[in-house]
């Protein structure tokens, strides 16, 4: 390890991971390199007990498959332990403050991770308040603004496919119809914020009701100016998919209707034709890859032939959630 990498690694200890935008490029590079190493170690059976007997508290205000299990399995593989906390069955449900959570959990362990993603205006603010009082790193497992653990795994997956230089690749981040529940806005917002840092051509597509929050849009434009890529917004999936190298169609809700899911579903029902099927995939490049953070609404967001087809990378993408979660814990805790 060079002196620079050692200094950078030292700098990571105790750092919060609340938005990708909070970390500079060489810090993101370090976490991806660490994730690559941890992935190789996992696949070759090398033990990685970097956090022996350390505890991370995993607070969930919402459901999860990948995030919970990638953190729980990941901390076990690092030699530590993850405590699952369901907000509904803890004193958070009786109004216990983020300040108290930050101070008290810091006195019991070594890291706090939080998912708080379904109420616009709340999740990121809650995490920042916990972090203000915590003396251990706080990790965002998805909030209203960003899903930095997901987009980091997405970046790792894209690099595995296309290499490190992503300049001029086109990624289509598109809304898609889903009837299951009102999905958070944080994945498309996280994608436009992170991918614009790498000189990519990012095209965002959505029906008029599905505009993203102002701050992620501002950051995406600012990142594009710095990286030399392109960021545009269109109102149809076809245009976004045209000649794309990567397509990432998924559902999210209208910002004003998270408290009114029935009304949100009525709005969404007008756009059932926003589905990623084989004719839609054929508009992208022949070698284009299909990505989705999962869970996907099969038959609504995407047809089986695409998500189970040769262009789909959803399983490597989901797997990389664990390697990147381990890297974040190993570096910050």
What is the token pair recorded at 180?
């299951």
Q: Which is closer to ligand CP, CB of 74 or CB of 229? A: 74
Q: Give, in order, the Cα–Cα distances in Å from 1 to each of 5, 9, 109.
A: 6, 10, 29
Q: Which is closer to ligand CP, CB of 217 or CB of 294? A: 294
Nearest distance in Å: CB 117, ligand CP: 9
Across the beta sheet with 201-205, the strand order is 230-234, 201-205, 170-175, 246-250, 289-290
Q: Which is closer to ligand CP, CB of 191 or CB of 199? A: 191
Q: Which is closer to ligand CP, CB of 62 or CB of 222? A: 62
Q: Which is closer to ligand CP, CB of 152 or CB of 280? A: 152
Helix (H) or strand (E) holding 316: helix 314-332
The 3-state DSSP class for residue 331 equals helix
Among 105, 134, 200, 293, binds ligand CP (CB under 6 A): 293
Q: Which is closer to ligand CP, CB of 15 or CB of 68? A: 68
- C-beta of residue 78 within 8 angstroms of C-beta of residue 50: yes
Q: Determine, following the binding rule CB under 6 A, whether residue 73 of this chain makes contact with ligand CP.
A: no
- C-beta of residue 284 within 8 angstroms of C-beta of residue 247: yes
Conformation bin of residue 306: beta by default, left when phi > 0, alpha when psi is -120 to 50: alpha
The span of 6-14, 59-67, 80-88, 120-128 binding ligand CP (CB under 6 A) equals 59-67
Q: Which is closer to ligand CP, CB of 16 or CB of 154? A: 154
Taken in order 82, 87, 93, 97, is the CA torsion positive or negative?
Answer: positive
The span of 38-46, 58-66, 280-288, 305-313 binding ligand CP (CB under 6 A) equals 58-66
- Stretch 186-245 residues interacting with ligand CP (CB under 6 A): none
Nearest distance in Å: CB 113, ligand CP: 12
Q: Determine, following the binding rule CB under 6 A, whether residue 67 of this chain makes contact with ligand CP.
A: yes
The span of 65-73, 99-107, 245-253, 296-304 binding ligand CP (CB under 6 A) equals 65-73
| Torsion angle, alpha carbons of 292, 313, 318, 17, to 10 | -70
Euclidean distance between CA atoms 218 and 204, whole angstroms: 13
Among 37, 64, 230, 236, binds ligand CP (CB under 6 A): 64
The span of 8-16, 24-32, 63-71, 244-252 binding ligand CP (CB under 6 A) equals 63-71
Among 73, 104, 234, 294, binds ligand CP (CB under 6 A): 294
The span of 19-27, 60-68, 265-273, 324-332 binding ligand CP (CB under 6 A) equals 60-68
Among 150, 151, 201, 227, binds ligand CP (CB under 6 A): 150
Euclidean distance between CA atoms 279 and 237, whole angstroms: 12
Q: List, in order, residues 6 or more apart from 227 with CB less than 8 Å away.
A: 167, 196, 197, 198, 199, 200
Among 33, 40, 47, 65, binds ligand CP (CB under 6 A): 65
β-pairing verdict for 170-175 and 201-205: parallel
Residues that bind ligand CP (CB under 6 A): 64-67, 142, 150, 293-294
């Amino acid at each position: 390890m060079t002196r620079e990498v050692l200094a950078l690694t030292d700098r990571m200890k105790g750092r919060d991971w609340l938005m990708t935008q909070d970390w500079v490029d060489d810090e993101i590079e370090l976490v991806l390199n660490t994730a690559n190493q941890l992935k190789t170690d996992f696949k070759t059976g090398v033990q990685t007990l970097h956090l022996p007997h350390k505890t991370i508290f995993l607070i969930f205000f919402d459901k999860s498959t990948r995030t919970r299990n990638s953190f729980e399995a990941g901390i076990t593989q690092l030699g530590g332990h993850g405590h699952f906390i369901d907000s509904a069955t803890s004193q958070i449900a009786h109004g216990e403050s983020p300040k108290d959570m930050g101070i008290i959990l810091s006195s019991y362990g070594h890291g706090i991770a939080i998912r708080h993603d379904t109420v616009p205006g709340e999740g990121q603010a809650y995490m920042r308040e916990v972090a203000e009082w915590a003396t251990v790193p706080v990790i965002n497992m998805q909030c209203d603004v960003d899903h930095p653990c997901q987009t980091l795994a997405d970046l790792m997956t894209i690099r595995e496919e296309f290499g490190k230089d992503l300049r001029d690749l086109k990624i289509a981040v598109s809304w898609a119809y889903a009837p299951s529940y009102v999905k958070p806005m944080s994945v498309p917002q996280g994608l436009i914020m992170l991918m614009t840092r790498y000189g990519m051509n990012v095209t965002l597509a959505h029906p008029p009701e599905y505009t993203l929050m102002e701050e992620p849009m501002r950051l995406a434009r600012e990142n594009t100016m710095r990286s030399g890529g392109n960021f545009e917004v269109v109102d149809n999936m076809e245009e976004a998919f045209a000649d794309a190298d990567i397509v990432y169609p998924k559902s999210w809700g209208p910002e004003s209707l998270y408290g009114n899911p029935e009304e949100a579903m009525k709005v969404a029902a007008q756009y059932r034709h926003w589905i990623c099927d084989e004719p839609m995939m054929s508009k992208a490049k022949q070698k284009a890859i299909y990505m989705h953070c999962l869970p996907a609404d099969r038959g609504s967001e995407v047809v089986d032939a695409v998500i189970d087809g040769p262009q789909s990378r959803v399983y490597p993408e989901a797997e990389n959630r664990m390697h990147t979660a381990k890297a974040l814990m190993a570096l910050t805790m």
